[in-house]
Structure 1
């Protein structure tokens, strides 16, 4: 992938996208509204598919039933990666997805999802809620007639499933690898042939040999999709996506038309779900990892140091380019993101980083 072409193609045109004026009128009966949520996931997929259902239930409950949300999984009403446009244009009122899918509209979207050597899930939430991130989030999505909220995070995403063991950064060159977001641009700079596809397609491509490796979410969701059946080497640390935000995008016209209490119901449903989703992922990731190793012979492997450093250097190069991006909003988003990363890293490296080092030392403690 040519770097300049990637940045050029993902730049946002000055005109933006006009606000949709043809929002499908929701069903209204005795003060009640029915909204359709389109998602990027198969129905009930462990992780994001389940989280989408929970979000719909919470909005309905917190609104006292005045705003009833019906879930439409990927492919039922629109394709999984078509949910943003469907909500922007008013075909549906809201979606559940991830920002990593919208990079072709503006590379700025990708900074709100996951970033190589970027923010952990807690840091990402901190940036949005306390570091000025939400205002920038609103400004970028508002160009497309969408109101965004974070509503979960899948936690640290492993570097990926590999058919063959990786010995050095040279082994990555020419490798066909599934990923999304900023990670795709970073890994392409290391010579990997990156491809974007859904989880089911990734399994089929690994099985057929048209992919050499790939990453999707983490042990919980990945085990449900069966990647361990076709690739036994599972690599860490999670430097490509140290977290991956899940988001709810709402048609801005529909959101603005709500009374204030229903706007708060939607907002609080998203905020309340974030902790639930993150802790559910981490709990089930831990259980699934034990199962993958003990029952399916998965080999947990650490990336060689030269790979880690190469990914870090390519990530830093990309961030420097985004600071000079032609879209001034992308520049402001990047500066805000980097400032918060520097701030929180100055604390977290001592607080949690050193604690995990201490917890891994050899001392007597019951299992």
Structure 2
């Protein structure tokens, strides 16, 4: 029987049973997209998430769907990628939503907000709670759809040229901090600076800024921050589980076949899991090396954390009173966070607390 006749008479179920499904994918139109990243190529973890995604899409389509990945600044500024996707200059981007809080503070909830969800809780809210549904409703205003595309896990609190002994040391501190968290730093008396990853080292080295946070030991060591600032603080209370997203132009996405849409979803999920696994696997050795080379590892004083929490909650109340988008999504998010923390308090935290005291 000729192949075309076979497919026509057998139907989809018959085709799948006969093992001919790949031909359906191969018959799809050849597609080439461009992806604008907000990250430098030197970071194989967070920038690499887009490469992992593009490679998987190509593999699952037999090379028919090709996505070229471009580092921050190559096609457009690192913080210009949402505009690029919105107006169709590129089909998609890979970025952290909170970079774009200046458009609407609600963007931040799609990534991380101070004293928010950890990475597992964020996954639960996105996939089993209302997170993905609510954020996609919001992103429609920008002509795009999102797919989770990575998470770093809880981050460090960054590198400081001088020791932070109390809240007084935050006053006037010129601090590079990603996106939305700067609003809280400002309320604490600091001076937030929103710089792309590729520009942080030189600013810290020259003293243009007093402190900077990025992600954690593996990336921070690659960027060399330990060479220009001796104090390394934790925890990064503004990023308990920041999600990185793939943003896709809505028209470009709607133009995909159902099969290609399913492949995009599967590839993004793969990249999402892959990124967190890489950070969890690589951070421990990097932290040991940093401390071994003289980095001073310190925990934020309690009064700093208490003030940061107080100002964060006050900020959220103010935003709920004036931003309808924020209020709708944050209300669901905060209810989910409350229940998650109740559960994690007993099982996860109880187990982790015991295990971290053992000498293994």
TM-score by length of 2: 0.90
Aligned to 2:263: 265
Alignment of 1:9-158 (within 5 A): 31-158=29-156
Q: Which moved more, 1:77-86 or 1:338-347?
A: 77-86
Tell me how far apart the structure 2 counterparts of residues 317 and 64 of structure 1 sit (CA, whole Å).
52
Aligned to 2:296: 299
Are 1:46 and 1:224, in contact at CA under 8 Å, matched by a contact in 2?
A: no
Are 2:118 and 2:154, in contact at CA under 8 Å, matched by a contact in 1?
A: yes
Q: Deviations over 1:258-314 (max 9, x none)?
A: 1111111101111122121101111111121111111x2111101111001011111
Does structure 1 residue 162 correspond to structure 2 residue 174?
Answer: no
Tell me how far apart the structure 1 counterparts of residues 254 and 230 of structure 2 sit (CA, whole Å).
49
Q: Secondary structure at the match of 2:316?
A: helix
Aligned residues: 334
Aligned to 1:175: 173
Tell me how far apart the structure 1 counterparts of residues 59 and 103 of structure 2 sit (CA, whole Å).
34
Are 1:114 and 1:181, in contact at CA under 8 Å, matched by a contact in 2?
A: no
Post-superposition shift, 1:322? 2.6
Does structure 1 residue 341 correspond to structure 2 residue 313?
Answer: no
Post-superposition shift, 1:318? 1.3
Tell me how far apart the structure 1 counterparts of residues 250 and 42 of structure 2 sit (CA, whole Å).
27
Tell me how far apart the structure 1 counterparts of residues 220 and 88 of structure 2 sit (CA, whole Å).
32
Tell me how far apart the structure 2 counterparts of residues 157 and 144 of structure 1 sit (CA, whole Å).
28
Post-superposition shift, 1:31? 1.8
Within the candidate set 300, 307, 310, 1:310 is matched to 307
Aligned to 1:230: 228
Structure 2 portions without partners, runs of 5+: 1-26
Post-superposition shift, 1:182? 2.4
Aligned to 1:278: 276
Aligned to 1:9: none
Are 1:46 and 1:220, in contact at CA under 8 Å, matched by a contact in 2?
A: no
- Structure 1 ranges of 4+ moved more than 6 A: none
Are 2:45 and 2:279, in contact at CA under 8 Å, matched by a contact in 1?
A: yes
Tell me how far apart the structure 1 counterparts of residues 86 and 61 of structure 2 sit (CA, whole Å).
23
Tell me how far apart the structure 2 counterparts of residues 55 and 109 of structure 1 sit (CA, whole Å).
22
Are 1:141 and 1:147, in contact at CA under 8 Å, matched by a contact in 2?
A: yes
Are 1:161 and 1:213, in contact at CA under 8 Å, matched by a contact in 2?
A: yes
Tell me how far apart the structure 2 counterparts of residues 325 and 355 of structure 1 sit (CA, whole Å).
41
Does structure 1 residue 324 correspond to structure 2 residue 312?
Answer: no
Post-superposition shift, 1:63? 2.9
Q: Secondary structure at the match of 2:175?
A: strand
Q: Which moved more, 1:37-46 or 1:165-174?
A: 37-46
TM-score by length of 1: 0.88
Are 1:322 and 1:334, in contact at CA under 8 Å, matched by a contact in 2?
A: no
Tell me how far apart the structure 1 counterparts of residues 61 and 332 of structure 2 sit (CA, whole Å).
34
Q: Secondary structure at the match of 1:43?
A: coil
Q: Deviations over 1:168-210 (max 9, x none)?
A: 0111100100012221101110000111002232111111111
Are 1:154 and 1:281, in contact at CA under 8 Å, matched by a contact in 2?
A: yes
